[in-house]
Amino acid sequence: MSFYLSLMNLTVLIPLWVTPPPPARVAVLPIDLNDLSNQRVSRELRGRMGRLTEALSARLGTACGYTIVGLGQPAQSPADAKPGYFYAHPDVAVSIVGPAEVDWVIIPRLNRASPWVADLQAHVVRVRDTVIVSNRIVEIKGLELTPELASRLVDRGAAWMADQISQSIETASGTEPAARRRCRA
């Protein structure tokens, strides 16, 4: 009888040993524009960058399974902060979102070479030690062209970048084998 009770206790405890850790908490800052061209920026680009930020956050939350901590525009940015400030100073970005209890901060920017060519680039920053564990880049061609193409590019660019960010987080965390990917583009 005591053997069966011990066996029942063991079967109750086994799920506690194999319970996966809670999903990482991720904050995504709004995408900054890094304009490398000498050409005029289209009126629609800022709105498309906002939709790209939303799509990236949504993709990391739904397809990748992370807990997304909503931030909006950081309220405590330094007075001299220019576009790209947080990208150049990830420690400041972490200090601003730190109270929100996040594990990872994503600091994206859109490197615009022309209306036809842009790269979405993102620092993946581990909050506990403010280390940039990865810098990922996804090419997005045609973001400033037709609304239909831009809509598709926002979805695909967010999916590609979410997959890249997920790989970086999982590798730096050591939580999943490299062969298994949390989310796919």
Q: Give the model's pLDDT for residue 72.
A: 47
> Of residues 74 and 109, which shows the higher confidence score?
109
Average pLDDT (22-49) is 91
- Which of these, 80, 31, 70, lies nearest to 53 by C-alpha position? 31
Is the pLDDT at 61 greater than 80, yes or no?
Answer: yes
Separation between Cα atoms, residue 168 and residue 24, nearest integer Å: 12
For residue 182, give every residue at least 6 positions away whose Cβ sits within 8 Å of its Cβ, in sequence order, or none: 64, 65, 166, 170, 176
Look at 54-58, 99-103, 106-110, 169-173 and tell me which has the smallest mean pLDDT.
99-103
pTM for this model (two decimals): 0.82
Distance CA 15, CA 162 (A): 30
End-to-end CA distance of the chain: 53
26: β partners: 68, 104
- Pick 8 or 103 by higher pLDDT: 103
In this predicted structure, which of 27-31, 55-59, 94-98, 104-108 has the lowest mean pLDDT? 94-98
User: How far apart (Å, rounded) are the C-alpha atoms in residues 98 and 126?
Assistant: 11
Average pLDDT estimate for 83-99: 84
| 41-50 average pLDDT score | 91
Higher pLDDT, 5 or 82: 82
